[in-house]
Every structure is written in structure tokens, then in C-alpha cells.
A and B are shown apart, each in its own frame.
Chain A
Amino acid sequence: MVARLSTDLDWNLHFHAGLVVLTSQRLLHIEEGRFHEWKLAAVEELVLEELGPTTALHLMQDGNAVWHWRITAGHLREVETFISRFKEQRGLAEEGVESGEDDDEELFTPEIASTEPRFAGKPLLRLITFSRPWLGLMLVGLGLTVASTGASLLGPWLTMSLVDDVLIPLQSATHEINVQKVYQFVGGLLGAAVLTWMLQWATTYVVARLAECVTSRMRRTTFEHLQTLSLGYFNKKRTGDLISRIGNDTDDISLFISVNFIDFACDLLTIIFTAGVMFTINPVLALAALGPLPVVAWLVQWVRVHLRGGFAAASRAWSAMNSVLTDTIPGVRVVKAFAQEKREIERFRQHDQQIFDTNDRVNRTWSFFEPTIAFLTEFGLLVVWSVGAWAVAHEHTTVGVLTGFVLYVTKFYSRLDAMSRFVASAQRAAASAHRVFEILDVKPDMPVNKDTRKVGRLRGEIEFKDVRFRHGTRQIIRGLNLKITPGEMIGLVGPSGAGKTTLINLVCRFFDVSEGAILVDGNDLREIDVMDYRRNLGLVLQEPYLFFGTIADNIAYGKPGATRAEIIAAAKAARAHEFILKLADGYDSMVGERGQQLSGGERQRISIARALLVDPAILILDEATSSVDTETEREIQAALDHLVKGRTTIAIAHRLGTLRKANRLVVLENGVISETGTHDSLMKHSGTYARLHAAMEEVNHA
């Protein structure tokens, strides 16, 4: 077998599994009960046709399509691989090269699908893997829990002896009054209380610390992981949702570990201990007291199932609301400009209502549960009192034992009640943990090549070799060839949607090419270290992004160790120095969100200074001057002139000033280069560029 292709649709687009197999001599189609084969030599070619969300593969013989396969677009890449294998194989077959026997047995070896994410089911168990570094602390916490639970059980035991050995004899006055013993027992009770208090204090602190350690690690790991994900991931995700996962959800988990989990462990231990103690004292009474237990167990299970969905829905509702906030708060100018405050209020209200509804649903289940447990506690006590009264009357037991029992049963059932609360928080934490792990399970979609080369400082030669790029089913770049020499400035023009920004994203290696290759200084981009490569890049975007911090910090963003002299030099070259001088705090002025208000042109010049400071070999300008007025543009243009000197530059531009400066203009249309040349030569040529340029002129002079 040379290649195989699993198809998942039939010709009428119903889901149906099939298999196409390529051997060295034949092409086979296999599905349940059907089998077709064609001699390779007789097959003219395989033609791929993209039909939106599905793909068709036609088998051509003598100019006619004699067979068709349909496959969902998700398998496009496999289809293409298959076709190229087919082409190779047919070439070989025509040359009469035998590549060994047809090995048909291999056809039917099942393919092992290993798409299951590791640890799919149990998010709470996975939390344990996060606490591994604090194993010691965990054991201390556990030991303390056991000790404090044990200490809290001393009380009833002492009470039992106090009643039987002191109070009853005291009342019936058959013995001498033993004041000494009263002091001993009361002192013992006090001691037990103090011991319990101290141990619980220690336990609570140790466990809270553990919880903080685990969740802090979780937050950091999640953020670190986010930083490794590609631009494509962030384009698909809502910011509010990610914030909510790293913020709220980890907080839920922290609360669960620090408060609920420790309570749960205490409760479980108390229940086991009390049950044990009760059975050793009086098995009959113990059995009676534990009568309602199965009902409780059943209730817990029932509530668990009902709450699980509820909490997941609540978490999602929170995310949705956060998304509304991250949408409307930064976009407040648009909201106000279009007088859409009411509509945003309504949108927020709807999402808030959703949170209300999901929580209300949870509360309904919940409110039934707690009183029911309380009722069962009362019921259990009732049973103990009646069985106990009967036992005392028949002298099977003593009043002291009965008193002790009542204390134990109260403890027992109050713990059950607390456990029920644990059920709720465990479900909440599980839902939260699931959402956090979902981020962690996203594999970086750009495979990190292990044996990448360090390139160091590049000269700045870029070569596109038959580059193709597909996003989903859309082919954006369709076979692009271009060689850019070091220090050359390329102006990239073309109608919107032509693939200009995509091309830049490919050069930055935010995405990998689907086919072909991009070479820098002769190295394939995929084979060199991304970080190392990007240190050679300078990026100036249409909408410059400033981080919250001082102007100096922002300029030095790409080179944190820059000296003040370097920062000032970069700012001067970027024509930013003079407006910075006028700010009250100079280079120490806070900018970015919540910071000083700067104009678009000022922000742009800071971002140019930022690019200048890293001294990039390759400079990318993504419409750096298109969002500002002419006056500011002149300033920015002057700053840019400094920047492009001696660097390979790719500039997406509409402004004539930028275009005139370019050594070559590349006109992109529909993912391919339609024209190249200087401004003047392209104008003479009267092609796409001349047309675009005329349109721009018209706008400028209108």
C-alpha cells in the first residue's frame, strides 16, 4: 500500500465511511460490501474540487469523471497528500518501475485514532498533579486534620464518663461526693477544646496556604501556556472568557481546596471515627442511630447529578457576562457615539439574567437538600432517644452512654450536613477545573520544531517560494513567488482582502505556510528558532498598542535592558522626543490603558521608537500612516525614513508618500502577484496599480 484516504461522505452527502487505497499498481475503493478497482495506468488524473464545507475528488478517465468521492473539508490536507502521492506513483508506474508486490493485507490494519485528550474525565483528580511540589505541606495538612478531628471527639467521650462516674452517683447520693473528679473532667473538657482549637487553627492555615500555592501555579501555568499559543487561537477566543477562566475559575478552585476540601476531610474522618466509637460502645444503639444513612447517601447522589450541569452553566454564564464587559468597556466610544447605551444595558441585563437563572436553578435543588438533611438529623436523634430510653429502662445501657451517644449523633449528622455542602462546591470546582484544563489541553497549533537553528543577526533577504496559505477552506495566498534583497523596501498594495496582511503574518511566522516555503537569508522559516528570528523583526502596526507603563518602558519593550541614552536616541529618531518633553513627567509619564491620553500620531511615533530600538533587520509596516491626518503623517513619515534606512522593509501602504519611497511596489490581487515595479513604471503600465492609484487620488482631492 502506498497511501490511503478515509472518506466520510457518500455522493449524496450523507455520512458514510469509505476508504480509497493507492497501491503501486492500482487504485481501490472500498466500502461495506462494495469494492472497485482501477489500474493506475488507466487513470488519467485525480481532480480536487473545493465545494465550501466539503470537498469532491473526481477520478478522471479519458476526459470524463468516472467516479467521485466526497469528503468534509476538515480532511482537505489528507486529500491533497493523497493526490500528490498518486501523482508520484503514477509517474513511477508509467516508467514501468515495480515498487515491490502489492501488499494488500496491510490495507485492512485498523488505524489507531489517538485524539483523546489525556486525563479527559476527572478534572478534580488532575488538580492533584498540580499540588505535587507541595507534597510535604499536603502531608502536614492531612496529619493536622486527623489530629484535630481526633481531638474534637474527646469531648463527648469525657462527657460520657462525667455523667456515669460523677453526676449519676452524685444525684443518687449512693456514693461520697467526689469534687476532685468533677474538676478533673471539666479540666479535661477544657483541655480537649483548647487542643482542638489550636490544631484547627494550624490545619486551616496550612491548607489555605496549600490552596494558594496550587492555584497560583495553575494561574501561572495557564498564562504561560496562553503565551505559547498562536495568534490563530486568540482570534478565535473571546478575551472576557479567557480572563474569566484565569481569574474566577482558579479562584473557585482555591476556595474549594482551602475551605471545602479540608472541611470534607474533617467531616469524613469525624463520621468514620464517631461511627467507630459508637459501635464499640453499643452496637445496637449505633445501628439505630445510623438508620437514615442510606437515605442520605441516595440524596447526595441525586443532588450531585442535578448540580453538576447547573454549575457548568453558571460558569459559562459568568464568562458570557465578562465578554460583554470586555466588549463594551474598551468600545465605550463607539457605544456612546451611536447612542447605544440602552442597548448595551439591555445586553448586560440579559446576560446577568442568565447568571441569575442558572444560580436560581442551583439554589432550588440546594434549598431542598439542606433542610432535608436537617430533618433526617432530627429523625436520627429521635430514634436514638427512643431506642436509648428503652435500653436504659431495661438496663442494657447507662444514662451516661446515652448522653454521649446523643452528642456523637448530633456531631455525626451535622457533619453529614456539611458534607452535602461539599457536594455543591466540589461540583463547582470540577466545572471550573475543567474550564482551566481546557486551555491547558490546547496544543500549540504551530508545531515547535525541536532541532531548529539559531540564526543570530540576519542580513534581511527574504524569498517566497511558491507560497500558498489556506485558512480553513479559504485559499488566501495562491502561489506567490518573490525575492527581496537585503535593504530593499517593498510597498505592498492591492484591494482589501487580497492577502496583504496574511502575507505579513506569514513573514512574522504568526502562521505557517500551507505549501511552499519562505526563506530568510536562505533558511526555511520553519527550520529556524522562532524567538531568535523574531528578534530580527520590527513591527509597526496601524493601531499601535501601548502597554500600561511609562513611555520609557514602552519604548524599551523589545529590549528591556536598553539604557536611557538609547531610549532617548530612539525617541529622537522617531520624532517623539519633542512631544515627550512637553509632558509633565517626561519619559516617566504613564501611558496605555488608564494612562496619559496621547494622540494617534504620538502613539504611533512611540511604537516607531520601539521598533527602532531593537534595530531590526526586517521591518514590517502595516499601514503605519493610514489612520492619521496629513500633518501627523508628515511627522511619522520623517520618523519612518529614519527607520527604513538600511533595513529590508515590507510596507502595506496606501499613502503616496510611502509608495514613492519604495524600491519596488508589489501589487497583490486574489492571493497572487499581479504586477511589480516602481511607482512610475506601474503608472505607465496602466494596470491594477494605476487604477488603484487613480481611485486614491480621487479620494484625496475630493
Chain B
Amino acid sequence: MKLIATGSHLSLIDAEGVRHDNLRPVRLFPLTEPQHWISLVDEKGREVASIEDLNTLDAEQRGAIESALKLREFVPVVRRITAIKRATDGHDWHVETDRGPTVFRIETDESIQSLGGTRLVIIDKAGTRYLIPDVASLDRESRRKLERYY
């Protein structure tokens, strides 16, 4: 099995020597176990191969998958909550993330979901996911603001 990076896509030559083009990597457990279980899916949405553990691949192939994932993934990690303001439909969250400061709007409290333990994911109106890997690691002010909604 050999992987070739082609921009945001991947090509795979499988054990029988058949070449599959235009594959995209998909994490099966993006929130609870992002480093394991990555599936390679063709244009029709069919799974061509799946990789249980990236570390079993050599550095080059792992790099190919990781760079392809990096291009399509967008799950900002919330580092600090600066303000939560009431808006006409829902609340505007002003946050600082690992990708810089931003504002997003969520509609109901149900948009904040627990992923077990102190891990939270917030899904905004547009469907973007914001991750809080550990509520306890947020600063006191942020935790207090969060507490009112979750």
C-alpha cells in the first residue's frame, strides 16, 4: 500500500497494485479520538481503506495524510471566552482560539455538547465546531461565563 499526496487529495496504490485517485481522508472519531481511525474515501463516498493508527505508517505517508487533513479540517480550540452577549436569536460568543480571536453565534444551549468528562464541543449556527478540550483548564473568568450556559 502506498500513499501519494496530490494537493488536498490523496492517491492510493493498494496491495493489488490498483490505483485509487481523488481520495480524501476522514476522521471517524474527530472529537474523541482524532489520531486514530482515519478512513480514505473516494469521490462517491465509498471507503477505500482505513488506517487504525497513523503511527504505524512511515513518516512520509503519515505526512501526506496529515497535510491533506490539515487543509480540510477546521475545528478551532477555544482558549479563552472574552464575552457572551445576547443577540436577537441566540448568543454571540467572543472567544480567543488557537487560530486567533473570533465571534460566533449559537442558537440554543443544546449547541453545547459534552463529549464525556470535561470535553465540550460548541456547534455554531453555521455548523462550525469549536472545541474546548478541558473545561477545567480554562481561566476562572471564562469558566464562570461558560457556566451560565452549560
Contact = CB atoms under 8 A, between A and B. Distances in A.
A578 interface: yes
Given A564-B33, A564-B36, A586 B27 contact: yes
Given A578-B46, A581-B45, A588 B30 contact: yes
B26 A581 contact: yes
B47 A578 contact: yes
A361 B129 CA distance: 52
Interface size class of A (residues with CB under 8 A): 10 to 19
A578 B45 contact: yes
A577 B30 CA distance: 15
B141 interface: no
A581 B28 contact: yes
A588 B32 contact: yes
Interface in A531-578: 550, 552, 564-565, 568, 577-578
Contacts of B32: 550, 552, 588
B27 to A, nearest CB: 6
B37 A564 contact: yes
A585 to B, nearest CB: 6
A590 B33 contact: no
Interface string B91-104: 00000000000000
A584 B74 CA distance: 11
Contacts of B6: none
A582 interface: yes
Contacts of A590: 113
A586 B26 contact: yes
A594 to B, nearest CB: 5
Interface in B40-78: 41, 45-47, 50, 52
A580 B115 CA distance: 18
B41 A581 contact: yes
A584 B129 CA distance: 9
B130 to A, nearest CB: 13
A3 to B, nearest CB: 60
Given A577-B47, A588-B115, A590-B113, A568 B37 contact: yes
Given A584-B127, A586-B29, A594 B36 contact: no
Contacts of B31: 585, 588
Contact of B28 (A584, A587, A594): A587
A587 B50 CA distance: 14
Nearest to B52: A565
A564 B29 contact: yes
Contacts of A581: 26, 28, 39, 41, 45, 47
Contacts of B45: 578, 581-582
Nearest first, the 6 A-B pairs at minimum CB distance are A588-B31, A586-B28, A587-B28, A594-B110, A587-B29, A588-B32
Interface of B: 26-33, 36-37, 39, 41, 45-47, 50, 52, 110, 113, 115, 121, 127, 129
28 contacts: A550-B32, A550-B115, A552-B32, A564-B33, A564-B37, A565-B52, A568-B28, A568-B37, A568-B50, A578-B45, A578-B47, A581-B26, A581-B45, A581-B47, A582-B45, A584-B129, A585-B30, A585-B31, A585-B121, A585-B129, A586-B26, A586-B27, A586-B29, A587-B37, A588-B29, A588-B30, A588-B31, A594-B110
Given A564-B33, A581-B26, A588-B32, 9 more contacts: A564-B28, A568-B37, A581-B41, A584-B30, A585-B129, A586-B28, A586-B29, A588-B29, A588-B115
